Amino acid sequence: MARPALSLAPQRCDKCMRCLRACGRRAIDVGAAFVFVDWDRCDGCGKCAAACEAGAIRMRGGPPPARSEASVGPAPARLEAAVAAERPSASVAGDERVKAPRLEDIAPLAPAWTAWEVAVVLAGVLALFVAQQAALGSKWMADVVPIGAKPLVRSGVLALYYAAQLALLAALGYRKGVGFAEAFGLRRFRPLAFGASVVALVAVTRAFTLAYAVGAESLGWKMPAGPASDLTLYFGRDGLGLALTVVMIVVVGPFFEELVFRGVLAGFLQESMGAWPAVVVSALVFAAFHANGWMFAPVAVMGLGCAWAALRTRSLWAAYVLHMLYNAVPVFLIFALAK
C-alpha cells in the first residue's frame, strides 16, 4: 500500500498536540524534536494536516505554510506540555521560564486502549490472582511441600503468575499493531530531570504509610499477620530468601503491576475521563486489587504517586522506579531487623 501523502517538517512543530487529537487511528506521536507517523496505521485522511496550523504536517503537494509567529516564532507556553517527558520546565527569552504544564495538557501515555481490552486485562489478572492465592494457600502447599522447599515453590508459583500475565499483555499489545514498549508507554525518561520528583514521592508515600501504620496501631487496628507483614515468613530469612524477595517483590512484581494499572488502566482512563480522574480511579482500583483492607489506604496513596509520575513524564519507567523503591524500603528493613 502506498504511503499516505503527508509531508512532515518537525522543526516547525509548536507542540500544540492538535494533530494527536485529530487522528482517530492513533498514528501520530510528537516529541521534543520529532513528529512521528506510523504509516501502517495512517489512512491518509489528512485530518492531522488540517489541524496543524504551524505547517509541521501538511498534505504533500499542498500550499506551503505561511511563515508566521505561530510556526517559526517563539514556542508557546503549551510547548512544555508536549516535552514533559524530556524536562520539567523550559527556558525562554532571557531568564523568563514557562510554567510547568497542567497534567491534563500532556499527551497520552500510550496508544488508546479500548474498554473491552481493559476489561479483559483486569478480569484476566484477577482470575490469575485468585488462582495464585489458591495455589499458595492449598493443602498441597501446606502439607506436602517440604518446609525447606517452600520458598522456592512459592517463587515458582509467582513466576508462573507473572508469566501468564506477560502472555496476556503481550497478546493484547500485539493486537494494537505497535511494539510492546509503545503499547504500554515504556518510553525513555530523563532521570536527571525527574529523579528528584520520584525520590520525593517515595519519601512522601512512605511517610504516609508510616503515619498510617502508627495511627492504626494506636486505634487497635493491627496489620494482619502474613507475608505482607513479614516477608521472611514467606521467602525465608537467609540470603536466598532475601534474593527471592528482591526479585519477586522489588523487581518483577512492580513491573507487571505498572503495566496493568498504569500502562493499561490509567492510560485508558486518561483519554476517557481526563488525567486527574485517571490518577485517582486507577489508584483506587490498584489498591482494591491487593485484597487487603488494612493496606488499602497506603497502597492507594502509592498508586496516586505512580499514576501521576507515569502521566507527568509520559513514561511508565518513572512509575516503575517509584514503585520499586517504595517496595524496597520495607524489604530491606524487614530482613535487616530479622538478623
pLDDT, residue 75, reads: 39
pLDDT, residue 53, reads: 85
pLDDT, residue 96, reads: 43
At 59, phi and psi to the nearest 5? Answer: -70, 135
For residue 34, give the H/E element and its range. none
3-class SS of residue 330: helix
What pTM, to 2 d.p., does this model score? 0.75
pLDDT, residue 38, reads: 78
pLDDT, residue 135, reads: 95
Residue 93: other Cβ atoms inside 10 A: 6
Task: Provide the grid cell at 43.
Answer: 489512512
41 close to 49: Cβ distance less than 8 angstroms: no
For residue 85, give the H/E element and its range. none
- pLDDT beneath 50, residues of the chain: 66-98
At 262, phi and psi to the nearest 5? Answer: -105, -50
Of 109, 121, 117, the C-alpha closest to 267 is 109
**CA distance from start to end of the chain:** 65
pLDDT, residue 19, reads: 87
Helices (H), 219-315: 232-235, 239-245, 253-258, 267-272, 275-289, 296-313
Q: Residues 231, 133, 160, 267: is their CA dihedral positive or negative?
A: negative
At 29, phi and psi to the nearest 5? Answer: -135, 145
Of 328, 335, 244, 311, the C-alpha closest to 81 is 311
pLDDT, residue 6, reads: 85
**Strand stretches in the chain, DSSP E:** 6-8, 28-30, 35-37, 57-59
Q: Residues 318, 319, 322, 324: is their CA dihedral positive or negative?
A: negative
pLDDT, residue 10, reads: 83
Q: Which residues pair with 57 in a beta bridge?
A: 8
CA angle 74, 185, 270 (to 5 degrees): 75
- 259 burial (CB, 10 Å; 0-12 / 13-18 / 19+) is buried
